[in-house]
Amino acid sequence: MIEISTDLIKAKKILENNDLVSIPTETVYGLAGNIYSETAIKKIFETKKRPLFNPLIVHIHDKEALTNVAIEIPKNAAKLASYFWPGSLTLVLKKNNNIPDLITAGKDTVAVRVPDHPITLALLKSLQFPLAAPSANPFGSISPTTAQHVADYFPNNLSLVLDGGKCQNGIESTIIGFEENKAVLYRLGSISVEEIEAVIGAIEIKNNNEDAPNAPGMLSRHYAPKTKTLLVNDIANEIQKYKGQRIGLLLFKPNKELFPNTITEVLSETANLKEAMSNLYAAMHRLDKENLDLIIAEKFPNNNLGKSINDRLLRATKN
Ligand code: TXA
Ligand code: MG
Q: How confident is the model at residue 71 (pLDDT cuts 50, 70, 90)?
A: very high
Instruction: State what percent of residues in the chain have pLDDT above 90.
Output: 91
Q: How confident is the model at residue 217 (pLDDT cuts 50, 70, 90)?
A: low
- Protein residue with its CA nearest to atom 21 in ligand 1: 217
- List pLDDT tens digits, range 252-286: 999 988 888 899 999 999 999 999 999 999 999 99
- List pLDDT tens digits, range 86-101: 999 999 999 999 999 9
The enclosing H or E element of 184 equals strand 182-187
Cα–Cα distance between 208 and 187 in angstroms, integer? 8
Domain ranges of the chain: 3-205, 229-316
Mean of the per-residue pLDDT values for the chain? 95
Amino acid at 269: E
Does pLDDT of 214 surpass 70?
no
- Protein residue with its CA nearest to atom 15 in ligand 1: 134
Decide which of 217 and 185 is more confident: 185
- List pLDDT tens digits, range 279-310: 999 999 999 999 999 999 999 999 999 999 99
The enclosing H or E element of 203 equals none
Stretch among 3-12, 95-104, 183-192, 253-262 having the lowest mean pLDDT: 253-262
Instruction: State what percent of residues in the chain have pLDDT above 70.
Output: 96
**Which residue in 226, 163, 129, 205 sits closest to 7, CA to CA?**
163
- List pLDDT tens digits, range 15-49: 999 999 999 999 999 999 999 999 999 999 999 99
- The set of protein residues with a Cβ atom below 6 angstroms from ligand 1 is 25, 27-28, 30, 54-57, 90, 92, 104, 107, 109-111, 115, 133-135, 172-173, 175, 177, 186, 214-218
Architecture of the domain spanning 3-205:
Alpha-Beta Complex (3.90)
Q: Do domains 3-205 and 229-316 have the same CATH topology?
A: no
- List pLDDT tens digits, range 218-243: 677 788 899 999 999 999 999 999 99
* Residue 126 CA to ligand 2 centre (angstroms): 25
Q: Give pLDDT, residue 212.
A: 52
Does pLDDT of 211 surpass 60?
no
Angle at 196 between CA 190 and CA 201, to 5 degrees: 160
CATH number for the region 229-316 comes to 3.40.50.11030
> Whole-prediction pTM value?
0.96
> Residues 12-39, buried b or exposed e (16+ Cβ, 10 A)?
eebbeebbbbbbbbbbbbbbbbbbbbee
> What are the distances in angstroms from CA 166 to CA 84, 144, 148?
21, 9, 10
Instruction: Tell me the three state secondary structure of residue 197.
Output: helix
Phi, psi of 23 (to 5 degrees): -115, 145
Q: Give pLDDT, residue 189.
A: 97
Does pLDDT of 210 surpass 60?
no
